[in-house]
Amino acid sequence: MEKQLEELKQTFSEELLLLHSPDDIEPMRVKYLGRKGALTSILRLMGSLDPKDRPRMGSLSNALKVYMEEALADKLEGLRRGSVFKGIDVTLPGRAPSKGCVHIINQVVSELEEIFLSLGFNIASGPEVEDDYHNFEALNIPEHHPARDMQDTFYFSNDVLLRTHTSPVQIRVMEKSGLPVRIIAPGKVYRCDSDVSHTPMFHQIEGLWVEKGITFRHLKGVLYEFIHTLFGHDIPLRLRPSFFPFTEPSAEVDMGCIICKGKGCRVCKNSGWLEILGCGMVDPEVYTYVDIDPGSVTGFAFGLGVERVAMLKYGIDDIRMFFDNDLRFLRQFS
Ligand code: PHE
């Protein structure tokens, strides 16, 4: 009889799990606990038991009866609340998983990459932890240059540092792949600097095109096309002479201030112009570091700050906003 009680408990529990409506509870109760129910029929056998076994069987079957009654009541309550699980109300509205989005800086990087890919450039990359040779020496940056100062560069040791610009990728690409080279290299760069327009880490995109017959006109054509695609074809542009140790001649490209349309404002410091990138023809001296005969090719290089482009494009006046991780700011670009 004990075995029968156990089997009955088992089938009862399994059957209970399958009920899905409060209306199923009463028929189930009748089936097990009713006058002709399964438990009742087992209890009828009590009389045939050895009298000394009767008390134990009596209390076992009573416990099963209580168990069944409670289980049925619980189940009924659960089904009435619309829940099959104790303690979980599945009728409550769900919490939607929150969706992330691509960081605004990465969105701008992708947009800039698209433009250069369409102009025939490939994408290259290099390490953020650089050596002095690639970051400075091979780029013709002399020993006394202020960029080499501890105050501007994060050093790990005398020779190892966080790259201060993406220009070392120029050297790495020319060392490795044969000519011609037509690459852009987007990435993080680091300088010991912090205020409204400087953060210790920011992003640059380097560009390098080295091939027989490349002239300053190619430089101007590519860079003007790039800026016009980005900011619109009616934006005025100008090339202003400048200096970089690894380009000769060097220039900076200015575009008419998009905030005041050239009238003069705080952003353009009343000049009507905004500096957007640095560029120049690769200094022949640089070729000698990468075993290219300086007489055999010419090329141009440029470097631009991604945050600066993003600030101008979206009218953001504090570069630190990009890295504060304030979701109220970041979500505006999702
Ligand atoms: N590397 C320079 C900088 O960080 C930018 C640059 C790159 C200028 C390539 C000329 C050519 O300021």
Lowest mean pLDDT among 35-44, 199-208, 298-307: 35-44
Kindly state whether residue 98 falls inside one of the protein's structural domains: no
- Is the sign of the CA dihedral 151, 152, 157, 159 positive or negative? negative
Q: Taking 70 as the threshold, does the pLDDT of residue 271 lie above it?
A: yes
Residue at 95 is within a domain: no
CB-based burial label for 161 (10 Å; 0-12, 13-18, 19+): buried
Judged by DSSP in three states, 184 sits in strand
Residues in the chain: 334
Given ligand 1 and candidates 152, 165, 181, 219, which is best to mutate, with the most ligand atoms within 8 Å of its CB? 165
Gap between the Cα atoms of 206 and 185, Å rounded: 5
| Residue 3 vs residue 89, higher pLDDT | 3
Of the candidates 282, 279, 243, 274, the one whose C-alpha atom is nearest the C-alpha of residue 258 is: 274
Is residue 150 scored above 80 in pLDDT?
no
Residue with CA nearest ligand 1 atom 6: 303
> What does the block give as tokens for 312?
């101008």
Q: What is the pLDDT of residue 86?
A: 63
Judged by average pLDDT, the poorest of 2-6, 200-204, 239-243 is 2-6
Range with lowest mean pLDDT among 4-18, 158-172, 195-209, 210-224: 4-18
Is residue 99 a part of any domain in this protein? Answer: no
| Whether pLDDT at 84 is above 70 | no
151 pLDDT more than 90: no
Give the domain range for residue 29. 2-84
Of 53, 84, 115, the residue that ends a domain is 84
Q: Which of 139, 153, 167 to mutate to test the pocket of ligand 1 (most atoms within 8 A of CB)?
A: 167
Quick one: how many helices (H) and strands (E) in the chain? Answer: 11, 9
Q: Is residue 28 part of a domain?
A: yes
Note whether 188 and 275 are same-domain residues. yes
The distance from CA 189 to its chain's CA centroid, rounded to whole angstroms, is: 18
Q: Is residue 74 located within the same domain as residue 206?
A: no
**Residues 146, 32 share a domain:** no
In ligand 1, which atom is closest to the CA atom of 189?
4
Residues 295 and 165 in one domain: yes
- Which pair of tokens denotes residue 71? 């289980």
Residue 242, token pair as written in the block: 């400048």
| pLDDT tops 60 at residue 309 | yes
Residue 123: predicted pLDDT: 98
Asked whether the whole model's pTM tops 0.85, one would answer: no
Q: What is the mean pLDDT of the chain?
A: 92
Integer-rounded Cα radius of gyration of the chain? 38
Residue 85: predicted pLDDT: 61
Residues 64 and 191 in one domain: no
DSSP 17: H
State the Cα–Cα distance between residues 134 and 182, nearest whole angstrom: 19
Is residue 82 pLDDT above 80, yes or no?
Answer: no
Ligand 1 atom with minimal separation from the 164 CA: 4
Find residue 185's DSSP bridge partners: 206
> What is the pLDDT at residue 142?
86
* pLDDT of the residue at 267: 82
Q: What is the 206 CA–ligand 1 centroid distance (Å)?
A: 7
Share of the chain above pLDDT 90, in %: 66
* 116 and 52 together in one domain: no
Answer yes or no: do 76 and 110 share one domain: no
Select from 91, 72, 93, 67 the least CA-distant residue to 81: 91
Percentage of residues of the chain with pLDDT beyond 70: 99
Question: Looking at the structure, do residues 56 and 137 belong to the same domain, yes or no?
Answer: no
Are 116 and 222 in the same domain?
yes
Q: What is the pLDDT of residue 317?
A: 87
39 and 178 assigned to the same domain: no
The arithmetic mean of pLDDT across residues 272-291, rounded, is 97
Ligand 1: residues within 6 Å at CB? Answer: 165, 167, 206, 244, 247, 278-280, 301-303
Residue 280 scores a pLDDT above 90: yes
Task: Tell me, yes or no, whether 23 and 122 share the same domain.
Answer: no
* d(CA 241, ligand 1 centre) in Å: 13
Residue 219 falls inside a structural domain: yes
- Mean pLDDT across 286-299: 97
Last residue of a domain, one of 54, 84, 114: 84
Torsion of CA 312, 318, 319, 324, to 10 degrees: -130
Q: What is the DSSP string of 105-116?
A: HHHHHHHHHHHH
CATH number at 239 reads 3.30.930.10
Write down the residue that tokens 């001649």 correspond to.
Answer: 249
Q: How many domains does the chain have?
A: 2
- Three-state secondary-structure class, residue 72: helix
pLDDT band at 83 (very low <50, low <70, confident <90, very high): low
Last residue of a domain, one of 29, 52, 84: 84
